């Protein structure tokens, strides 16, 4: 097993907080990340890693997966990874892709296990969720807590509804700042997401996600007012018709009290009566 501090030394790099670069160096945490996927019998035929860094997690993934694809945007780190893991690359067990995970074409994969760059973790996560594959991802703790939050709690919001639309999400571990080099300003958490079909049906998923986003921009307003005030975000041409057609009791509630299934039901009313663009 490659030592994370040794990898940092051989790569000749130091993390840069200004560039959202914090290397996970705690052996115990690194060892557990693949185990969280193994614990739900995730398919490890082709594991995707985003933000490979110096390869501390890459090394562990190569030991349990049939094949690994690692995406990294830092050119110096790409060169190091290709030297350090030359044997794994030659054997076809590892592919290293240079590029930004927000822009590159993400290959087909069976499971993703990653310590994501925190500044873009939300955008990356929502590139991954629609693939409906098991995910084990490191986030800022506050972000992770919002992802798994229940309705009518302070943390519950658009992120909670959107993530739980795609998967059962759970925090499996909180990670202290000291596990990273350099330590970030906040604690981290590991989220395990098991894909599943939601218990409700939406006829237009893109509109559903946009509608949820719109209503949470006015989370302190009643839904009656939030729907009327956010037509420019949701794309509703006739929000008043939605309010009139929806359940009157629901219209007096706020977005943070609705379960995802209730958002879905309201979304269908909006699609039918609101004349969305």
Which residues are annotated as part of the binding site for S-adenosyl-L-methionine?
22, 24, 51, 72, 100, 115
Phi-psi sector, 138: left (phi>0), alpha (psi -120 to 50), beta? beta
CB 5 within 8 A of CB 35: no
CB 193 within 8 A of CB 133: no
3-class state of residue 15 by DSSP: coil
Helix (H) or strand (E) holding 219: none
CB 147 within 8 A of CB 160: yes
CA distances from 68 to 4, 55, 90 (A): 18, 12, 13
Q: Which two tokens stand for residue 266?
A: 């309201």
Residue numbers in the known binding site are: 22, 24, 51, 72, 100, 115
Burial bucket for residue 20 (CB in 10 Å: 0-12, 13-18, 19+) = middle
Residues forming a β-bridge with 256: none
Strand 23-24 vs strand 180-181: parallel, antiparallel, or unpaired? Answer: antiparallel
CA distances from 39 to 47, 57, 165, 266 (A): 15, 17, 22, 36
């Amino acid at each position: 097993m490659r030592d994370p501090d040794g990898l940092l030394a051989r790569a000749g790099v130091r993390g840069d907080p200004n560039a959202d670069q914090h290397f996970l160096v705690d052996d115990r945490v690194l060892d557990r990340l693949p185990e969280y996927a193994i614990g739900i019998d995730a398919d490890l035929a082709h594991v995707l890693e985003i933000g490979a860094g110096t390869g501390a997690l890459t090394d562990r993934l190569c030991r349990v997966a049939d094949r690994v694809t690692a995406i990294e945007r830092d050119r110096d780190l790409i060169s190091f990874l290709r030297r350090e893991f030359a044997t794994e690359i030659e054997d076809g067990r590892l592919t290293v892709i240079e590029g930004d995970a927000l822009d590159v074409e993400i290959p087909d994969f069976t499971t993703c296990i990653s310590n994501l760059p925190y500044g873009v973790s939300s955008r990356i996560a929502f590139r991954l969720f629609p693939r409906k594959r098991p995910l084990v991802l490191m986030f800022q703790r506050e972000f992770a807590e919002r992802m798994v939050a229940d309705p009518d709690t302070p943390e519950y919001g658009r992120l909670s509804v959107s993530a739980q639309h795609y998967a059962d999400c759970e925090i499996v571990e909180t990670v202290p700042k000291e596990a990273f080099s350099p330590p970030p300003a906040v604690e981290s958490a590991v989220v395990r997401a098991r894909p599943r079909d939601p218990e409700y049906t939406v006829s237009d998923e893109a509109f559903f996600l946009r509608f949820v986003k719109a209503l949470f921009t006015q989370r302190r307003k009643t839904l009656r007012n939030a729907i009327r005030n956010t037509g420019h975000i949701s794309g509703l041409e006739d929000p008043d018709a939605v309010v009139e057609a929806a359940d009157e009791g629901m219209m007096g509630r706020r977005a943070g009290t609705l379960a995802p299934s209730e958002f879905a039901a309201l979304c269908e009313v909006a699609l039918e009566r609101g004349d969305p663009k």
